[in-house]
Structure 1
C-alpha cells in the first residue's frame, strides 16, 4: 500500500512540476499567438499561428523590420513590423521608405507591390503628419502592417512604447504546410 502511495505521489509531483514549467515558459519566455486579419499579408496570413519570443527584448532592443506583438489601445494585441526606431525621421514618398533622409529597401513588400495595378501600396506621409512628432520618441517604435492599404498601425494609433511590446514573432507553426521563420 505504501509503495502505491509513494508511486502515486511521485507522479503527482512530476505532473505539478511539468505544469509549473509549462506555465513559466508560456507566460515568461514564449507564447503562441493567432494572426487575426489581413494587415500583415502576404507575410502573415489570417489565422496563421506563431510563436513569439517574450524574453528576447529583455536583453536586446527591437530592430528595424522585426515583426512584433504589442498591446494596442483598446486592450487588443496587434502584430506589426518595426519601421522606425527612437530618433528616426520617417517618411514615405512615391511608395519608398525614407529613414533619416535615406531610401530604405523593403523586399518583403515586393510581392504585394507587383500585384498592384497602379497606385501606391503606402501613401505618402511624414511622421509629423501622422503623429505630431518630428522623430520617433525615445523608448517608442513606429510600426506598420505589411498590407499597408488595410492596416491599423502607427499611422492611426501613434508610436508604440517599448513597455507595450509583448515580444518578437519568431516562427509560424501553423498551418503545418507553411512552417517557417517569421520575417
Structure 2
C-alpha cells in the first residue's frame, strides 16, 4: 500500500530534479563565462576622465586577451590594485615590457613581465607614476565596451599617445627610484 502512495510523487520529484539540474547548469555556465570569457565592472572616479564617466560607467571586460597574448600600449584594462589587492582599478596601458617611460628629468624602462599604467586624467589618478610598474599577473582583463551611461554607449578604443613623457609630480615612482 505504501508503494502506491510514492508512485504518485515520482513524476513530481523527477520534474523538480530536472529543473534543479537546469538551474545548476545555468549558474555553472555563468561562472565559467564570468571567470574566463567576459565580465561587467563598474568604473567610478575621476582618474579615467574623459574616457569613462565620473559618476560611474558600467563596462564590459573580456578576459581572453590576457590569456592568449600580450596587451598593447593604449588599451584600457581592469587590474587588481597593487596597493589594495581587494580592489580592482581601470587604467590605460602606457608602456609594456622594454618601453621607456618618464619625463625630461627621469625615465624608467618597464621590466619584463610588467606594464606601466596611467589614468587618462593625469592630474587626478593614482597609477604607475606613484607605485611603479605593475606585474602582468595583476591584469584581470581588457575593457572593450561601455554599457552605461547611455550617452557613452559604445566601444572603448585604443589611444596611443605620441608623447607620454608628461611632467610627473616630484613625489612618485620615477623621482624615488631614479
TM-score range, shorter chain: 0.7 to 0.9
What TM-score do you get using the length of structure 1 for normalisation? 0.74
Runs of 4+ in 1 over 3 A off after TM superposition: none
Residue 91 (structure 1) aligns with? 102
3-state SS of 2:13 partner: helix
Matched ranges for 1:159-174 at <5 A: 159-174=133-148
Matches of 2:34 and 2:73, distance apart in 1: 26
Matches of 2:114 and 2:76, distance apart in 1: 15
3-state SS of 1:26 partner: helix
Matched ranges for 1:122-133 at <5 A: 126-127=106-107
Residue 58 (structure 2) aligns with? 49
Q: Which 5+ residue runs of structure 2 have no aligned equivalent?
A: 1-7, 158-178
Matches of 1:85 and 1:22, distance apart in 2: 32
Query: How far has the Cα of 1:6 moved from its partner?
Result: 1.8
Aligned residues: 146
Residue 74 (structure 1) aligns with? 84
Deviations 1:8-61 (A, max 9, x none): 221111011001111111122222111121100000113101111123211010
Q: Which 5+ residue runs of structure 1 have no aligned equivalent?
A: 94-124, 128-133
Instruction: Work out which of the two has the higher radius of gyration on C-alpha atoms and give 1 or 2.
Output: 2
What TM-score do you get using the length of structure 2 for normalisation? 0.76
Among residues 95, 113, 127, which one is paired with 1:139 in the alignment?
A: 113
Residue 41 (structure 2) aligns with? 33
Matches of 1:16 and 1:176, distance apart in 2: 33
Q: What is the root-mean-square deviation of aligned Cα atoms in Å?
A: 1.5
